[in-house]
Amino acid sequence: MLMYLLKSTACLATLFLFYKLFLEGQNMHKFKRFYLLAALVLSFGIPLITFTTYMQVPIAIYKTPLEYGNINTTETIVEPTNYWSYLIWSIYGLGVLIFSIKFIKNSTNLFLKIKQNPKQRLENHTNVLLTEKTTPHTFLSYIFLNKKAHQQKQIPKEVLLHEITHAKQKHSIDVLLIEVLQVVFWFNPLIYFIKHAIKLNHEFLADQAVLNQGADTVSYRKILLAFSSNVTEPYMANSINYSSIKKRFTVMKKRTSKRSVVLRSLLLIPLAALLFYSFSNQKTEEILVDTQASHANKNAGKGASEKMMQEYRTFFKKYNNAKKKVIDMTYYQRIIAIYDLMTNEQRATVTDHKTILKFPSVDLKNTTKKAPTQSEFNSWKNKENFAIWIDNKHVPNSVLNKYSASDIVHFNNSYVYKNARSAKFPQEHQVNLFTKQGFTNTYVKADVNTYNSILQKYNSELHSFKKNSEISNDDLEIKNVQLKKLYAEFSKEEIKKYNIVFPESIPVKNSEHLGLVIKEEKQDPLETYKKEYNTYVTLTKQEPHYIHRSEAEKKKIDDLFTLLGSIYFSLSKEDRAKVKRVKAPILPYVILIRNGKTEYKKRSELTEDDKKLLPPPPPPPLPPSNNKQDSKELAKARAAFKKDAYEYGSAVGEYRKEGKGTREELNKLYKKTMKSYEKCSALIKKEKGAAPLPPPPPPAPPIKD
């Protein structure tokens, strides 16, 4: 909250300074009115804008076993309760209350004046005639005048025109907006400066309107001096005020050329860019990618096979020679996947698929529902004119008697030309109706259904590929590209909601390709681990302790810890026995999240209540796939465990670093992950005769009722 206030204040200060230096004294009052209102919107809006940078992270390396593997054997520095925040919020609330009462009181006074005094309704405004002496002023479309002076025509027409301008241009709306903001941000002095600038610009606009009607400038100035006063300006109203007279006289004489207006307006472009860059937020979003994609899939870098290239060229040859251009969209998506597999050199030798369809896919999940009216629904019961489908299934028109119009959330009505009608469907119209469930399956889950359909075929072909002796499989390569492309379009919420599983990598088989022996360059992981471990130990032994270091230093150590954890779990059992397992840098401290705040405390000093704040243990590390062929069921179980472990690790990371979530939620995710682990372990034991996974970690700590 504090950071938001600082950013919005700095943004508003920058915009207001620009106004004072380049705009206030210029005769471009309509533009200035827009600018001042926009300055308020931008200053409070820009700090809320977040620009997201997407970063690819390996799907197989999940945060929990690496970053938080030893979190239950770490320590804590307890911070005292901060009572200043309670005091500050109490003062703020009191200020809001006082200014709210003031706003309501003054608004009520104006409306009572309108209600209790005689009124004279005219075309664009209403005169409210008051018995007390008052400076003419305006609120909304009401102009408040002294009754005696008005009846005796003692108020000059220039003054009346001035107030009528306030009413016609609805200046009171601007004032009401700034008054509401003043209630919320009463502590911000810039709000008062902006309020004064807005009201002064209203006077500029009204003066300009009077002079444009042919009023003599000298005479008008004398009238303003005669009607101005040093009395308090009516609250939330526009009136002639003495304190602004000198500046108004100066601006009246000012002439601003069109060129000057354009140049000053152009200055706003770099200013806006600077504000967005300086005061908006930056966020990095992680995108899961296949950990083996860069080294396990030998297709990466070599492009599409010659067989694929021939298939791609044949498609375009048939399409170009066809008299009737009809595209099978399912097959067309395959053609796009082949194009995606090509290298730049290969693409240069073929026609780009976008020459046929620039936008080959339709975003069905964002389809807007179109419900029928009762008359439309009743007309569809006529079987002579309409053929009916409900949720993509053809039904007799009489079935509509079992439904009501409210049961249908969306429909498509297509006119069928005579040459396209058939004996089975001779009607002029074909109408496809969708219930709530049908709309979800057809539109909302369109991409999910497509993904799962391709994934099912992919897993079946992958299972067969692992068992046979073929070196490569074009269909697998194509489906793999299609699946990864679709997966990248899903949000984290969709992945979680629909349990979308990332496709398993295509295993590498030693072979010869085009007469060249493919040799995988390998780096000895054991030697790498030893080297990085020594670096890690040196860093962690330096003073001060990890918990007292800067965020940059912590990140460097965390990254190295994660890398070592990843390498350690990829080592064979024999190699693990040769090295020490890396320990968390936070030792001998543990992290506790208490009321959303992070605490560091030594494990030996933990109370029973402290222990209940510890997050559950991490899930077991995912074992690397071995050369033995997994069954389709085991492959699916591995992928499910991988997904659950990553989801749980991410949740623990947010709990630890940002205080998000609760221990109850973490325990639910932990239990879900362990269930996936046990299923995977049982299948490995069943198929391989022994489970290569390490034993599960200790159970999660109990949850306090």
Q: What is the pLDDT of residues 532-580, one digit of tens each?
A: 888 888 888 878 888 888 877 887 887 788 778 778 777 777 888 888 8
**What is the rounded average pLDDT for all residues in the chain?**
79
> Is 70 exceeded by the pLDDT of residue 470?
no
What 8-state DSSP symbol labels residue 522?
A: -
What mean pLDDT do residues 409-437 have? 90
* Size of the chain in residues: 705
**Confidence at residue 231, expressed as pLDDT on a 0 to 100 scale:** 46
Helix or strand (DSSP H, E) at 113: helix 84-116
**Confidence at residue 629, expressed as pLDDT on a 0 to 100 scale:** 59
> Is 70 exceeded by the pLDDT of residue 269?
yes
> Is 80 exceeded by the pLDDT of residue 699?
no
User: Parallel, antiparallel, or unpaired for β 119-121 and 137-139?
Assistant: unpaired
**Confidence at residue 596, expressed as pLDDT on a 0 to 100 scale:** 64
**Tokens of residue 570, six digits:** 């990829």
**Confidence at residue 302, expressed as pLDDT on a 0 to 100 scale:** 65
**Confidence at residue 238, expressed as pLDDT on a 0 to 100 scale:** 55
**Confidence at residue 54, expressed as pLDDT on a 0 to 100 scale:** 59
Helix or strand (DSSP H, E) at 323: none
Distance of CA 235 to the CA centre of its chain: 41
Phi, psi of 169 (to 5 degrees): -85, 5
Amino acid, res. 459: N
* Spatial contact of 628 and 689, defined as CB atoms under 8 Å apart: no
Q: Which of 220, 195, 208 is nearest to 169 (CA)?
A: 208
Give the separation between CA 351 and CA 359, rounded to whole angstroms: 16
Give the separation between CA 548 and CA 77, rounded to whole angstroms: 10
Phi, psi of 394 (to 5 degrees): -70, 135
Distance of CA 659 to the CA centre of its chain: 20
Give the separation between CA 309 and CA 145, rounded to whole angstroms: 85
All residues at 6 or more sequence positions from 220 whose CB lies less than 8 Å from its CB, including other chains: 158, 207, 210, 211
Amino acid, res. 99: F
Q: What angle do CA 218, 219, 224 make, to 5 degrees?
A: 100
**Tokens of residue 79, six digits:** 């911070």
Helix or strand (DSSP H, E) at 629: none
Phi, psi of 320 (to 5 degrees): -70, -30
* Spatial contact of 565 and 68, defined as CB atoms under 8 Å apart: no
Give the separation between CA 484 and CA 481, rounded to whole angstroms: 5
> Judging by beta carbons within 10 Å of its beta carbon (0-12, 13-18, 19+), is residue 474 exposed, middle or buried?
middle
Q: What percent of the chain has pLDDT over 70?
A: 81
Helix or strand (DSSP H, E) at 636: helix 632-658
**Tokens of residue 71, six digits:** 């979190």
The answer to which of 70-74, 167-171, 270-274, 555-559 has the lowest mean pLDDT is 70-74
> Is 60 exceeded by the pLDDT of residue 73?
no
The answer to which of 12-21, 39-48, 462-471, 529-538 has the lowest mean pLDDT is 462-471
Phi, psi of 127 (to 5 degrees): -85, 130
> Judging by beta carbons within 10 Å of its beta carbon (0-12, 13-18, 19+), is residue 27 exposed, middle or buried?
middle
> Is 70 exceeded by the pLDDT of residue 125?
yes
**Tokens of residue 211, six digits:** 């002079």
The C-alpha R_g of the chain, in whole angstroms, comes to 36
For residue 323, the tally of other CB atoms under 10 A from its CB is 4
Q: What angle do CA 71, 682, 615 make, to 5 degrees?
A: 15
**Confidence at residue 520, expressed as pLDDT on a 0 to 100 scale:** 40
Give the separation between CA 507 and CA 504, rounded to whole angstroms: 9
